[in-house]
Structure 1
């Protein structure tokens, strides 16, 4: 904290000290302590009214400086101004208004034969008048602090003249020739206090000139005390020489003038020397500053080149825009990725041209749903950065040649040191390899999930289809060993044979399924659907005739399919046999088989008019292992599970639609490359 600020903070304390001194003088009047009221017997003393005004001045300044009660300060200032004005009016108008001894009789003045005992000295009254006026200017509803500061300077000047008068023993200085002389104590108190009080508005008037940090202020602080001291010393010496009558008047005046001239020249020389030294320091500092600036510019240029090299060598695209979105930086990485030269886009294009419009619009719709308010497509990349966030998302960049590639794009806002918005910067990384790795990972996870499901099914097969017959077989063998009657033994042996047949059947089914899972090297070839159908029809011809079934076939849209022939035969056999097995008892079976291509993907449809399946009840179990939905003795729940497993092992999918008592339609969708073109 500066000395000026420190003193300014202590001004309320100075006002309290002033009020205390005034009260001391007031009490001294009541107690008749003349030593305090008149320190110098031959010089004016402190009048009672002057002591009262001094105490009021302290209270007034304390109320103003500490912001305790500015209104009270204004009232007291007006009272001080009025009292001082009335006292001065008595001197100028040669009247007695009864103010001088209104409270206390001036015994000292009467003893000295004063014509106006108790009256405030004229010069003292002027000081209080100036103070009251200045404080009213400071505390007015529309303050005039500069004028108030000038009035305080007037007080400092008057009290300085009075003090010089006492020092040099020139009464005209402290009485102003026509007024009653001011007390030296009051003059000293007011000289110090008026100087301190100007620090409340230290930037105004002479105070502002003396305490400023510019060269003029520094020079003023340097010269002012020296000039004052020199003039006081010379004047005091001249006065003493004149009083002792050591030299003639003319010679004394000439000597006084010459002394002032010599001292003035010395002070001018000293000021000029100081200014020259300051100027040399300034020139040196400017030279050093210029060198530092040049070095800094070189360092900045080097850092910019290094940064540009780093950015250009980075395997990322860096695109910076101005606040309107126009590209102003296009890195080498961006040139390599997008196929544009920087000259083609800088100052001419916006980053939106590197994006697919359909992706941007979809993102705008998504953000609108998330935020619950409309988001325009051109705000997609800047909405979050303008909120101080980073927009990070995956996009497909559009190259100059029209090809696309996936990137991870991070967009953030560019701000100046003072927080002003300058533009945006987008940093994009090519994630083609990452996307490919993600797809491979997803495929592996899908396969792993499929394998886990298969393992659960196999566990079910082992625990249910195989374990139960083995336990039953073990029990029958024990019964056979303990049974003595031959008839019962033969019956038990027959049961054992039946259990063994069931066990072998379950094992064969399990082996068939295991073969599907393990047989990943199926031969993919062009398979004629008509040939597969004919072979299946021959295998089922007995049942077809027995049930008077009608089969409608249409392979015109896709007669041939790239697939595993054995798996395709299994699909035809299981789905056609199911249509016959689960026929409706009230009508002959009708089976329709059709092939086609839907949006480039081949498919097969198997439709029947059989019993149908309640999908609301059994929809999630249709393709499960050992899942049956009709009371058919031949139902084992293996065929559809086997078909599904075979198809999915080669990337195909099977689904169904069904209505109870109306029939079922199975749809098999193959991969696009299975179509023969």
Structure 2
């Protein structure tokens, strides 16, 4: 349809201009400005009632077209209909109801000797009656716009007939009353204004036909003004010829008919030529469109093949289903990943076939708890996708051979252009390698955290164990330098030697621990617990005999394992020597060593009857560096730290249980 929004936006302004004209005529009556009331001499002028109703009609049109007040427009329409109807009644029944000069005395009409001065012409009254009824149809509830549009067309027709009457000097065309005729100004103003008003409903009536974008509307716009112009010109020419009595009546009628025929044929020829040109353009456009469509189809086919190739070569599984969950598409990636052929599953299976039922049930229970609603297992995959969201989660796919592997599955809804639900699509990516990488990264992070703790511990050793001897040594040297007596100097020198020995011992211990941390490539071999026990017992035989210690060992359940021989000998030596070193003073030391297997993993226990440790007080510090808990002059607090470090470097762990004055049990758990 031709663009009419501009005219629609301008309608309130046009209504205001129309109202302004009416006010000009009303004021002219009050001020007796006759030149404005009768623009054409010797032709009917504008009556006061016509001007007054013009003001009301303009206001009603402004209220209606501008959306200001539909009710106000409706009330003004009632007033216009009533006044127009009363004026028509006066003409038909030749009566006077006293409304012609109710407000203003018609001095012009009286001076011209009119029988009913001030009376609105009959055709003018009909125009206002048609307009008032049209406005009522537009503003009623519900509105009847088609009827209103038809009445506006009737106004245009009446006004046009009146204008043609004046143009051709045919009084019967511009008067319906035997008394007065419609003013040519009123006829012209209403002809233009009624046409503008029809644009408010551009899709209805003749306006809809003329403003439409279809070929019939285009043809109507092309022919209508030409036909009207031809008829007006020929009619005016024929009437002038007849009035001048230039030709005979019969010949004139025949000539007029012939001219009408010729001009009609010319118009038909022009319209046909235009239609032919339109058809040629249409055929050309259709041909171009067909070629473009064929090219587009080829391009789409090529793109589909390319996309299919990309999707089939991608290392992902793409499975599409209908709205009932039945598989409709099974990509090559899905075939490679799951081991099924597309023919085996398309139209036959649902995606739940590739999932463990226990996992589906577990996910449904979890989703029910999260959403506080009962979620059925069949709804797990599509619970969120119905709302247009993408459901992304980790799952375990089950291959055709029964093996499983982890995937990241994204499920979304398939919809048409109009939003109709068509089905679902699931895109799965194998994340086996990703999960392995996560595990490796977690292991590296744990090792890094362990290294950081060790570095902090070494920093503590350096700051605490080395700083104090160095400061003491510095102080002794300064005293030695200022001391004058030889005997005192020799005593100070002896103290310096003792501090240096302690410092060297601490440094050696620290270096031993560092060696353990850095020596991550220990040679693993099959080690017998009995052999290590006998070797350690031989190394400690002097202390065992002097202390009358009792040592027992039971390795029947687990005689040995794959481990570092040197580290295992260090563990036995430290734990067995500790049992002798921290013996109870009131009883001979007893140590029981036993091996076993628990949950498929070997372990060792070292149980003694010594002093024991208050674990509530010292439990967190038992395996720390330089931590001692008894007043034993030989205790340095290094042995247990070394044992713990050696074991953890090979994946083993050590734990303790102890009671003060009752004894201590160390348990070593090895990895499988």
Q: Structures share a fold, TM > 0.5?
A: yes
Partner of 2:69: 69
More divergent stretch after superposition (569-578 vs 383-392): 383-392
The structural deviation recorded for 1:153 is 1.0
More divergent stretch after superposition (637-646 vs 31-40): 31-40
- Mapping 1:14-53, distance limit 5 Å: 14-53=14-53
Can you list the C-alpha shifts for 1:620-668, whole angstroms capped at 9, x where unaligned? 3211121112223332212211211221222212122334455433221
Change (3 A) 1:185 1:634: same
Contact 1:123 1:179 in 2 (8 A): no
The structural deviation recorded for 1:245 is 2.4
Q: Within 2, Cα distance between the matches of 1:142 and 1:360?
A: 57
Partner of 1:293: 293
The structural deviation recorded for 1:130 is 0.8
SS in 2 for 1:657: strand
| RMSD after superposition | 3.6
Q: Within 2, Cα distance between the matches of 1:158 and 1:32?
A: 29
The structural deviation recorded for 1:170 is 1.0
The structural deviation recorded for 1:272 is 2.8
Partner of 2:263: 263
The structural deviation recorded for 1:562 is 2.0
The structural deviation recorded for 1:360 is 6.1
Is residue 613 of structure 1 aligned with residue 592 of structure 2? no
Q: Within 1, Cα distance between the matches of 2:296 and 2:423?
A: 26
Q: Within 1, Cα distance between the matches of 2:84 and 2:478?
A: 138
SS in 2 for 1:654: strand
More divergent stretch after superposition (618-627 vs 78-87): 618-627
Contact 1:410 1:426 in 2 (8 A): yes
Is residue 94 of structure 1 aligned with residue 101 of structure 2? no
Partner of 1:142: 142
The structural deviation recorded for 1:46 is 1.4
Change (3 A) 1:597 1:378: farther
Contact 2:2 2:212 in 1 (8 A): no
The structural deviation recorded for 1:65 is 1.8
Q: Within 1, Cα distance between the matches of 2:382 and 2:405?
A: 22
Partner of 1:227: 227
Q: Within 2, Cα distance between the matches of 1:224 and 1:357?
A: 77
Q: Within 1, Cα distance between the matches of 2:260 and 2:604?
A: 124
Change (3 A) 1:150 1:349: same
Is residue 180 of structure 1 aligned with residue 180 of structure 2? yes
Q: Structure 1: 5+ residue runs without aligned partners?
A: 673-677
Contact 1:480 1:489 in 2 (8 A): yes
Q: Structure 2: 5+ residue runs without aligned partners?
A: none
Q: Within 2, Cα distance between the matches of 1:368 and 1:663?
A: 53
The structural deviation recorded for 1:393 is 5.7
- Mapping 1:262-411, distance limit 5 Å: 262-323=262-323, 325-355=325-355, 382=382, 396-409=396-409
Can you list the C-alpha shifts for 1:35-91, whole angstroms capped at 9, x where unaligned? 222233332221121121112211221222222233222222111111111111112
Can you list the C-alpha shifts for 1:218-241, whole angstroms capped at 9, x where unaligned? 111112112212222222222222
Contact 2:579 2:589 in 1 (8 A): yes
Q: Within 2, Cα distance between the matches of 1:117 and 1:442?
A: 109
Contact 1:165 1:172 in 2 (8 A): yes
Partner of 1:203: 203
How many residues get paired?
A: 672
Q: Within 2, Cα distance between the matches of 1:615 and 1:387?
A: 58
Can you list the C-alpha shifts for 1:216-267, whole angstroms capped at 9, x where unaligned? 1111111211221222222222222222223333333333333333333333
SS in 2 for 1:666: strand
Partner of 2:167: 167
Q: Within 2, Cα distance between the matches of 1:31 and 1:480?
A: 134
The structural deviation recorded for 1:118 is 1.4
Contact 1:656 1:666 in 2 (8 A): yes
SS in 1 for 2:604: strand
Is residue 578 of structure 1 aligned with residue 575 of structure 2? no
Change (3 A) 1:373 1:623: farther
SS in 1 for 2:120: coil
Change (3 A) 1:390 1:554: farther
Q: Within 2, Cα distance between the matches of 1:118 and 1:587?
A: 145
Q: Within 2, Cα distance between the matches of 1:461 and 1:74?
A: 100
SS in 2 for 1:402: coil
SS in 1 for 2:46: coil
The structural deviation recorded for 1:159 is 1.0
TM-score, scaled relative to structure 1: 0.87
Change (3 A) 1:586 1:345: farther
Q: Within 2, Cα distance between the matches of 1:28 and 1:643?
A: 121
The structural deviation recorded for 1:427 is 4.2
SS in 2 for 1:656: strand
The structural deviation recorded for 1:436 is 4.4
SS in 1 for 2:4: helix
Partner of 1:675: none
Can you list the C-alpha shifts for 1:555-586, whole angstroms capped at 9, x where unaligned? 34322322233322332332233334334556
The structural deviation recorded for 1:432 is 4.4
The structural deviation recorded for 1:424 is 4.9
Q: Within 2, Cα distance between the matches of 1:452 and 1:105?
A: 113
Q: Within 2, Cα distance between the matches of 1:191 and 1:626?
A: 113
Change (3 A) 1:88 1:583: same
Change (3 A) 1:547 1:283: same
More divergent stretch after superposition (554-563 vs 621-630): 554-563
The structural deviation recorded for 1:493 is 7.3
Can you list the C-alpha shifts for 1:443-496, whole angstroms capped at 9, x where unaligned? 455445544544555555556556655665677688789889887788667766
More divergent stretch after superposition (58-67 vs 125-134): 58-67
TM-score, scaled relative to structure 2: 0.88
Q: Within 2, Cα distance between the matches of 1:664 and 1:111?
A: 141
Change (3 A) 1:236 1:536: same
Can you list the C-alpha shifts for 1:122-165, whole angstroms capped at 9, x where unaligned? 11111111111111111112211111111111111111111111
Partner of 1:555: 555
More divergent stretch after superposition (359-368 vs 253-262): 359-368
SS in 2 for 1:634: coil
Contact 1:123 1:180 in 2 (8 A): no
Q: Within 1, Cα distance between the matches of 2:306 and 2:609?
A: 78
More divergent stretch after superposition (550-559 vs 364-373): 364-373
Q: Within 1, Cα distance between the matches of 2:520 and 2:171?
A: 128
Change (3 A) 1:154 1:639: same
